């Protein structure tokens, strides 16, 4: 792996790790739905401008259904669920649960695409569940019904990502990744729009909140997508998924530095369990 690829990989992990920090700041003020809507709308506009500048077609007439469905499952619902979790859950917790996405992807792939569910993958899933359970019960945050609901919201978001992956493999052939990223963000903005009147803003929108919301959208979605697809192109999808292992570590670090969130031995053990589980599922030994 070239040094430039390593820089992109760690930069992407740092950016996506920061997204959980930003949601912790924004969600209590804007509410989960507005946090998600602002994120996808600004990101979608930025990516649309990029597509126009580079003269790439969005194929809206033929692919609008795919954009709406993927927007709902891959962005609107997961972002809203993570924003809801951010009301009570530390940034590191959400990022650690987020790292279980490949586990659900493997399970969905086995059920819907006929992919082989090996003993290695099953062991990884078991370790991942144990890691999350260990974190919830023994982590630094006192266990409560609200904490449990927040963790379940994060789990629901990871399941959405897995479903979106299955849909992409089955339905979105012929659509370039950047087209899909742009279309899904715009589709998510449209899907969330009717629900916004039901969730008024909870607090005062200060300059700090506005700048943080812009950073969440433009940095953690628009710029992050560009970096990720460059990694996919240079390294391939398997090596690009290495970022999954690094995101929880950066989220824990940012939460500790900027929000003074506690990192205990239980936190690190739960994080290590989830990272190990993800590695077992993502990296298959060569025959």
The reply to whether 247 falls in a domain is yes
Residue 12 forms part of a structural domain: yes
pTM of the complete model beyond 0.85: yes
Range of the domain at 248: 3-116+143-259
For residue 130, being part of any structural domain is answered with: no
249 part of a folded domain: yes
Residue 84: name the closest of 97, 71, 69 by CA: 97
Within a domain: 251: yes
List Cβ neighbours of 284 (8 Å cut-off, separation of 6 or more). Answer: 118, 120
- Number of domains the chain contains: 1
Whether 274 is covered by a domain: the verdict is no
In a domain, 179, yes or no: yes
Distance between CA 71 and CA 67 in Å, rounded? Answer: 6
In a domain, 121, yes or no: no
User: Helices in 99-144 by DSSP H: which ranges?
Assistant: 101-112, 119-138
Cβ within 8 Å of residue 135, ≥6 positions away: 93, 96, 266, 267, 269, 270, 271, 274
Query: How high is the mean pLDDT in each 10-residue block of the chain (287 residues)?
Result: 83 95 96 96 96 90 90 95 95 89 80 76 80 72 87 94 82 75 94 93 92 96 90 72 84 92 86 82 64
**HSE value, Cβ hemisphere, 13 Å, CA-based, for 135:** 33
- To the nearest 10°, report the CA torsion of 209, 210, 215, 218: 150
Q: What is the C-alpha to C-alpha distance for residues 7 and 21, in angstroms, rounded to an integer?
A: 21
């Amino acid at each position: 792996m070239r040094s430039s690829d390593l820089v992109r990989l760690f930069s992407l992990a740092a950016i996506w790790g920061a997204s959980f920090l930003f949601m912790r700041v924004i969600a209590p003020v804007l509410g989960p739905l507005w946090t998600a809507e602002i994120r996808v709308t600004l990101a979608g506009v930025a990516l649309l401008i990029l597509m126009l500048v580079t003269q790439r077609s969005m194929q809206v007439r033929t692919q609008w259904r795919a954009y709406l469905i993927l927007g709902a499952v891959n962005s609107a619902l997961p972002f809203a669920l993570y924003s809801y979790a951010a009301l009570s859950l530390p940034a590191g917790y959400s990022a650690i649960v987020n790292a279980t996405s490949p586990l659900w992807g493997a399970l969905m792939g086995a059920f819907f695409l006929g992919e082989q569910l090996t003993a290695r993958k099953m062991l990884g899933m078991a370790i991942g569940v144990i890691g999350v359970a260990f974190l919830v019960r023994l982590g630094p945050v006192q266990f409560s019904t609200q904490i449990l609901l927040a963790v379940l919201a994060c789990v629901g978001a990871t399941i959405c990502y897995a479903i979106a992956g299955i849909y992409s493999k089955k339905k979105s052939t012929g659509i370039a990744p950047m087209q899909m990223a742009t279309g899904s963000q715009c589709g998510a903005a449209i899907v969330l729009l009717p629900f916004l009147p039901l969730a008024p803003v909870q607090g005062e929108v200060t300059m700090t909140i506005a700048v943080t919301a812009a950073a969440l959208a433009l940095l953690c979605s628009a710029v992050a997508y560009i970096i990720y697809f460059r990694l996919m192109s240079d390294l391939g999808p398997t090596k690009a998924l290495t970022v999954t292992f690094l995101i929880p570590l950066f989220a824990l670090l940012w939460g500790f530095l900027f929000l003074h969130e506690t990192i205990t031995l239980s936190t690190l053990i739960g994080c290590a369990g989830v990272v190990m589980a993800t590695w077992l599922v993502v990296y298959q030994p060569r025959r």
